[in-house]
Amino acid sequence: MSFPAAYFDDLYRRDDDPWDYRASWYERRKRLLTVAALPRESYRSGFEPACSNGELSVLLAQRCDRLLMCDISEHAVRLARERLAHVRNVAIERRAMPQAWPEARFDLIVIGELGYYLTREANSELAQRACASLTDDGTLVACHWRHPFEGKLQSADDVHASFDAQPALHRIVQHAEHDLLLDVWSKDGRSVAQGEGIA
């Protein structure tokens, strides 16, 4: 991780919603776009690294039998546990990415607003670990803010290029706009209609 845990802990210490996830229409819309882009209605086992205070996690938990969430910040983990206290199919842990990637297989991995905090090398490792732990029928999602900010180490396009570079991944959705880049990959490359056998 190129940004230390203390950086994020300090952000959450000053504000338990430092990116205005709860109130911002931009953030709510982004969450809705993310779950709408998922090519399957339900998943067996999901993983959301960098879950922050758990706002997107609430929606992902509705689509997964089990959801593992993590964040590098102890404060974020505490907030996410409070946010999802009533949800029984989630586990929330403190982990640094990519070095503490879990030893498990997932059919859904959602990476949001994480890659540009990593060096190019660390983000490449993140992409490799995600690809290696994705099941053959799995879905990998990445969504990142496209505007500059202080300390940003890579652009959203550069971050997503690390996933595009994985030979086993095939991009099946791309939503690009001025503010954000949202991509979805799978290993089998099937569209939604192909997955349902109607195309």
DSSP assignment letter at 67:
E
- Helix 5-14 / helix 74-83 crossing angle, nearest 10 deg: 50
Distance CA 137, CA 15 (A): 39
Domain that holds residue 175: 5-195
The predicted-structure confidence for 47-94, as pLDDT tens digits, reads as follows 999 999 999 999 999 999 999 999 999 999 999 999 999 999 999 999
Q: Is the pLDDT of residue 16 over 90?
A: no
Domains in the chain, number: 1
**What pLDDT score was predicted for residue 104?**
97
Say if CB 197 and CB 189 are below 8 A apart: no
Q: Could you tell me the two tokens for 159? A: 């971050």
Whether 1 has a pLDDT exceeding 60, the answer reads no
Give residue 193's identity as a one-letter amino acid code.
A
Residue 9 has pLDDT above 70, yes or no: yes
How would DSSP label each residue in 42-56?
-EEEEEESS-TTSHH
Instruction: Give the tens place of pLDDT for each residue, 134-165.
Output: 999 999 999 999 999 887 999 999 999 999 99
Q: What is the pLDDT of residue 15?
A: 86
Q: Taking all residues of the chain, what is their mean pLDDT, rounded to a whole number?
A: 95
Q: Model confidence over 89-142: pLDDT tens digits?
A: 999 999 999 999 999 999 999 999 999 999 999 999 999 999 999 999 999 999
CATH number of the domain where residue 128 is located: 3.40.50.150
Q: How far apart are CA 146 and CA 162, in angstroms?
A: 16
Residue 8 pLDDT class (50, 70, 90 cuts): confident
Confidence of residue 2 (pLDDT cuts 50, 70, 90): low
